[in-house]
Amino acid sequence: MSKTNNRKKLKTAIICITWVAVLSPLLGVFTLLSIADDGTLPDITTLENPKTDLASVILSSDMQELGKYYRENRVNIHYNDLPEHLVNALIATEDERFLEHSGVDLRALGRVVKGVITGNSKGGGSTISQQLAKLLFPRKRLSKKELVVRKFKEWIISSRLELNYTKQEIIAMYLNKFDFLNNAVGINSAAQVYFNKKPIELNLEESAMLIGMAKNPSLFNPLRKPDTVFKRRAVVLKQMLKNQFITSTVYDSVRELPLGLDYKKADHQEGLAPYFREILRTELGRLLRSKNEEGEFVIANPDGEAYDLYVDGLKIYTTIDARMQTHAEKAVKTHFGNYLQKLFNKNNLRWKNPPFSNDLSKAQIDTIVNRAVRQSMIYKKLIGKACSYCERPSKYIETSEDGFTCSYCNTFTAKKTKAEIDEIISAKRKMKVFDWGYPKHEKDTLMSSIDSVKYYKGILRAGMMSMNPHNGHVKAWVGGPDFRHFKYDMVKKGTRQVGSTFKPFVYATALELGIINQCDQVPDIEYCIEVPFNKNRNKLWCPSNSGTAYTGAPTPISFALANSMNNITASIIKKGSMVNDVYNRIAQLGIDTSNPNLIPVPSMALGVFDLSVFNIVSASSAFANHGIYIEPVYLLRIEDKFGNVIFQSEQDARQVWNKETAYTILEMMKLVTRGVKHPTLKNKRNRPLVGGTAIRIRSRESEKQPYAGISQPIAGKTGTTQNQSDGWFMGLTPDLVTGVWVGAEDRSVRFRTLSQGMGTNTALPIFAYYTKFINADDSLDISQGDFEMPETILTPPLDCSGYSSPSNTREPAFNNEWEESENEEW
């Protein structure tokens, strides 16, 4: 009996031990899951709206991406925008049973446990859902015990993700969240950075390479370890073969193909319209932070807070046309790179202290150079105005007795004495400098900081803007030759003397007020205006024309404008209240007359004051829009990441000129490029003297003038300021108004001769190249026709047959501009 009881007890014990052995792991797991589910896990709302930093995207009018503003270069895309082989590669490599499990793959987990026990690991056990959980809620530094609990937390999160999202959504979230390195966060950025493609355009081998990076992007970095990445890609393709996503034939044909990288660095300095994007960034920051009288943000998110341009995934719609922007940038590079900078370099070598003109003394040059050195990055680093490592500005720098510490990157820089700083600034070192003649326009050289300042002073700058005069949309914006080396924008931020590009406003005002008639003839004589000189007396300003004697011949008003004759412009501005009339008129054209440097004086007729390219283009646009000024716009609207419009631009419009005046001025400006014969004056060959400062645009295209050969009607105006410091050209067609400025950073760095430095030679060719490029682009619908004549004008306004010009003797303004006609005899 006792033996029987003992057997029963033994049997019961064995059963209990067996159950304990079986249930203990389950109880352990249950216990750990209970510990893991401690209230710190993200709730349903957080899981449904995970916090992700999204880049704000800038879009052109033709829906091309111009650039992004971001802390992380990420733009989410939908599952439908992913190629099938990319998804298959991810599943085959990272989670073969992804479509079968609910967040945790027990078979894979068992394989991991067995590998740990036997020491023969055959891969990880984390599912795509678990990896997504890790990406959405990153781990901190944990102890081994905390790491175990964290693993279980990720199990719970992944299971909850599976409950709240479809498998397709989880795939898309994972690929959108993953960091592929090299500023490529998410599959959209990765496709652009590594292959210059949209994700949907990725082929099989490209998809396999990107998925191969998911195991360890630092180890499988295609820029640093292409051989390792090549082998890893083969593993991905093998997994796709194993899981029957591809055939052996496809596998064999693809595995030996090169990586085929087309790397495009994700950098705000790269890409189209960098000057425009930087101006836009500043204005967007101001716009998004603006508040109303109650102290509330004018543009607020659902929480009432300001949108963050760098993390909120805004879509910014602009008026810039990517095709026209490309043509504009190419036009500047073509003229500068092939001709003008080489000419300028030769020009500068003839000065005593190149590149500065002989107008300056050695002391003045030293002052300019030393000021520029103090503004350089290396100098700011040495004196603690910028971090020596990350180049963050002074607000991040903490100063101590020993040196400077950057609060952003924790870099310490020891203080230097003045002697040490001077020695560093004067010492030659290796550097890259801008040069049109080298790949990517950079060359390696050995220079000191002082040498580099002088070198860059000799590089020509440019500003160019093109806009639609009928709706004010800015279509192209080139703020300089190369944004990496020249950050200062010369479209809107920089201002320079506008010279004769201002004259059409003088003529238009006089026409509008009946002070002149377009068929008037004015004697080509000296005209003087009495202007204040000091408190006690006045002086006479008598502007003349460059290199020509007065002929005394009656000269048509239209010829005077076409040939940019300063004396005849002076004869107009001195009449009656013309100075104030012109001043008031330009205020209606968007020019800020509250500027203390812009005052109503007679010399304004010759463009003695500084304006921006943005100012002069937008003001001139009214001529091409029937006299109506429309405020220029380049930001159309802003949408949040859900597509809701949070900002819509508004524009002012006003009638400044009557349409008859506007058309007449266009007809007169067309003579600048078409040419016009003087009614009485002859050249040396006894032929009628032809005027027109931009008629070379009509000449035959040649090796010397490859930009020429344009036949379409163009209303134009050249401008050249004193000493050839600035060259301008304004070109108007029915659909576009375009302005170009060319000059050096300092006005004392200039061309020696008028023939080389006039706007006809410096700025006009850029406009001509641009015009030829857009005309050849079949995707653009830009008119090459003529301006529409108002129905109220019965005969062409420059048809002066039968008109008798009244006697017209007047007197002047200050000669700030020196123009040269295309006809050298003039």
For 799-812, give the secondary structure using H, E and C: CCCCCCCCCCCCCC
**Which pLDDT band holds residue 101 (cuts at 50, 70, 90)?**
confident
Q: State pLDDT tens for residues 233-256.
A: 999 999 999 999 999 999 999 999
Alpha carbon distances (Å) from 71 to 138, 223, 250, 268, 308:
17, 22, 39, 12, 10
**Which pLDDT band holds residue 825 (cuts at 50, 70, 90)?**
very low
User: What DSSP string runs through 113-149?
Assistant: HHHHHHT--------HHHHHHHHHS------HHHHHH
Residue 401 or 555, more confident: 555
pLDDT at site 79: 94
Q: State pLDDT tens for residues 165-186.
A: 898 999 999 999 999 988 899 9
Would you say 449 and 379 are in contact if contact means Cβ atoms under 8 Å apart?
yes
Would you say 670 and 713 are in contact if contact means Cβ atoms under 8 Å apart?
yes
- Reading the block at residue 176, the tokens are 């959108």
- Residue 208: Cβ within 10 Å count: 30
pLDDT higher than 50, residue 813: no
List CB contacts of 507: < 8 A, sequence separation 6 or more.
516, 557, 561, 569, 572, 665, 668
**What integer is the mean pLDDT of 542-555?**
88
Largest CA distance in the chain: 149
C-alpha to C-alpha distance for 617 and 502, rounded to whole angstroms: 11
Would you say 82 and 200 are in contact if contact means Cβ atoms under 8 Å apart?
yes
β-partners of residue 721 are 817
Q: Which of 679, 713, 678, 722 is nearest to 694 (CA)?
A: 713
**Which pLDDT band holds residue 34 (cuts at 50, 70, 90)?**
very low
β-partners of residue 399 are 404
**What integer is the mean pLDDT of 157-166?**
81
**What integer is the mean pLDDT of 71-86?**
91
- Residue 765: Cβ within 10 Å count: 26
Cα 202 from chain centroid (whole Å): 27
Stretch (H or E) spanning 51: none
Radius of gyration of the chain (CA): 35
pLDDT at site 664: 97
Would you say 176 and 168 are in contact if contact means Cβ atoms under 8 Å apart?
no
Stretch (H or E) spanning 366: helix 362-374
* Amino acid letter for position 514: G
Q: State pLDDT tens for residues 435-465.
A: 999 988 999 999 999 999 999 999 999 999 9
C-alpha to C-alpha distance for 737 and 733, rounded to whole angstroms: 6
C-alpha to C-alpha distance for 738 and 769, rounded to whole angstroms: 12
pLDDT at site 113: 46
- Reading the block at residue 398, the tokens are 């903490």
C-alpha to C-alpha distance for 471 and 451, rounded to whole angstroms: 47
3-30 as b/e, with b when 16 or more CB fall inside 10 Å? eeeeeeeeeeeeeeeeeeeeeeeeeeee
If DSSP codes are grouped into helix, strand and coil, which group holds residue 414? strand
pLDDT at site 390: 80
Q: State pLDDT tens for residues 259-314.
A: 999 998 877 888 899 999 999 999 999 999 999 998 999 999 998 999 999 999 99
Query: Considering only 2-11, 527-536, 742-751, 812-821, which range has the smallest mean pLDDT?
Result: 812-821
- Phi, psi at 653, each rounded to 5°: -145, 145
pLDDT at site 817: 35
If DSSP codes are grouped into helix, strand and coil, which group holds residue 467? strand
**Which pLDDT band holds residue 23 (cuts at 50, 70, 90)?**
very low
pLDDT at site 17: 61
- Phi, psi at 785, each rounded to 5°: -90, -165
Q: State pLDDT tens for residues 757-804.
A: 999 999 999 999 999 999 999 999 999 999 999 999 989 999 988 777
List CB contacts of 15: < 8 A, sequence separation 6 or more.
none
**What integer is the mean pLDDT of 374-390?**
89
**Which pLDDT band holds residue 810 (cuts at 50, 70, 90)?**
very low
pLDDT higher than 70, residue 202: yes
Q: What sign results for the dihedral spanned by CA atoms 544, 550, 553, 559?
A: negative
Stretch (H or E) spanning 242: helix 226-242
pLDDT at site 138: 67
- Phi, psi at 661, each rounded to 5°: -65, -45
* Amino acid letter for position 759: G
C-alpha to C-alpha distance for 671 and 343, rounded to whole angstroms: 29
The fraction of the chain above a pLDDT of 70, given in percent, is: 86
Mean of all residue pLDDT scores within the chain: 87
pLDDT higher than 60, residue 621: yes
Residue 23 or 170, more confident: 170
**Which pLDDT band holds residue 116 (cuts at 50, 70, 90)?**
very low
Would you say 258 and 251 are in contact if contact means Cβ atoms under 8 Å apart?
no
pLDDT higher than 70, residue 9: no
* Amino acid letter for position 557: I
pLDDT at site 144: 56
Q: State pLDDT tens for residues 560-597.
A: 999 999 999 999 999 999 999 999 999 999 999 998 88
C-alpha to C-alpha distance for 492 and 467, rounded to whole angstroms: 13
- What pTM does this model have? 0.85
Helices 167-177 and 187-195 cross at an angle (nearest 10°) of 50
